[in-house]
Amino acid sequence: MSIQPIGIFDSGIGGTSIFKEIHTLLPYENTIYLADSKNAPYGGKSKDDILALSIKNTELLLEKNCKLIVVACNTATTNAIDVLRNTYDVPFIGIEPAIKPAALNTKTKAIGILATKGTLSSDLFHQTTDLYSNGIKVIEQVGEGIVPLVEAGKVSTTEMKELLQIYMEPMLKADIDYLVLGCTHYPYLIPILVELLPKHVKIIDSGLAVAKQTKLVLEKHHLVNSRTTHPENIFFSNGNVTVLNRILNEKFKVSYLDF
Ligand code: DGL
């Protein structure tokens, strides 16, 4: 049972930022990653469409015998994880924008959230924001256009830099001291964001927290792989395999699969 893989899915290659944290913390776990790049971006889709895609990905991972599923996508988590948890028996780990640590630690009383339209308009996001944003200005920004650029392998480009410059403007005007990355594609933009933001602005993403939660839940359910041999970390993409390979530094087995 414990040697069964952890299943991970995202609308595309962004969830590899979560995979990397999980693989570092749980180096003996077998994993299967689905990059649903054919259907990216999820961010502008309806809640029903995001749910249908999340179900499709989940069922494929369950067919492949996964013991736990990490929804490595803020948009899918905030729109679908309740239904997934109520429908399937395996444990699910989700990812949401880390508003809490930003709201609790801000000194300027202004924080920025960069996420997809699907995440920012979800009930789950509103509930969390309402819970922690008392007396704090929350500058929400839809990262329109970012995911397609990452999916096309255009991270370190002038186009990306110009887009981020536009998105950071209202946040800087509001004097934010925390920027929350609410999409798993965005950690790959940190080098550009560091250049664009003043030094005192801290950038928060939830990758490590997700990895820690995955470990806790595996332990709680007695699902930790007891073997300490080299694991199998497999990646399937229904889109551009070359870009996925590059973001993984050509270190893992990547295959095309039509799903
Ligand atoms: N990685 C997804 C997320 O965390 C991107 C969503 C999209 O495809 O628009 O929200």
Pocket test for ligand 1, best of 185, 189, 238 (most atoms within 8 A of CB): 185
Cα 219 to Cα 98: distance, rounded to the nearest angstrom? 23
Which of 164, 186, 204 is where one domain is finished? 204
Residues 211 and 90 placed together within one structural domain of the fold: yes
Whether residue 1 is contained in a domain is answered as no
Catalytic hit among 103, 183, 197, 218: 183
Residue type, 5: P
Q: Which residues constitute the domain of residue 136? A: 99-204
User: CATH code at 227?
Assistant: 3.40.50.1860
Nearest C-alpha neighbor of 111 from the set 45, 61, 173, 178: 178
Whether ligand 1 lies within 6 angstroms of the CB of 75 is answered as yes
Whether residue 230 is contained in a domain is answered as yes
Catalytic hit among 73, 139, 192, 223: 73
Query: How many domains does the chain fold into?
Result: 2
66 as an active site residue: the answer is no
Whether ligand 1 lies within 6 angstroms of the CB of 54 is answered as no
Q: What is the pLDDT of residue 55?
A: 98
Q: What is the pLDDT of residue 1?
A: 60
Residues 41 and 71 placed together within one structural domain of the fold: yes
Tens of each residue's pLDDT in the chain, 259 residues: 689 999 999 999 999 999 999 999 999 999 999 999 999 999 999 999 999 999 999 999 999 999 999 999 999 999 999 999 999 999 999 999 999 999 999 999 999 999 999 999 999 999 999 999 999 999 999 999 999 999 999 999 999 999 999 999 999 999 999 999 999 999 999 999 999 999 999 999 999 999 999 999 999 999 999 998 999 999 999 999 999 999 999 999 999 999 9
Cα 180 to Cα 35: distance, rounded to the nearest angstrom? 23
Residues 117 and 172 placed together within one structural domain of the fold: yes
Residues 227 and 185 placed together within one structural domain of the fold: no
Q: Which residues contact 212 (CB under 8 A, 6 or more apart)?
A: 25
Q: 33 φ, ψ to 5°? A: -110, 130
Cα 230 to Cα 211: distance, rounded to the nearest angstrom? 19
**Beta partners for residue 236, in sequence order:** 34, 255
Q: What is the pLDDT of residue 254?
A: 97
Q: What angle do CA 159, 95, 240 make, to 5 degrees?
A: 45
Cα 229 to Cα 136: distance, rounded to the nearest angstrom? 48
Cα 127 to Cα 213: distance, rounded to the nearest angstrom? 21
Whether ligand 1 lies within 6 angstroms of the CB of 41 is answered as yes
Whether ligand 1 lies within 6 angstroms of the CB of 119 is answered as yes
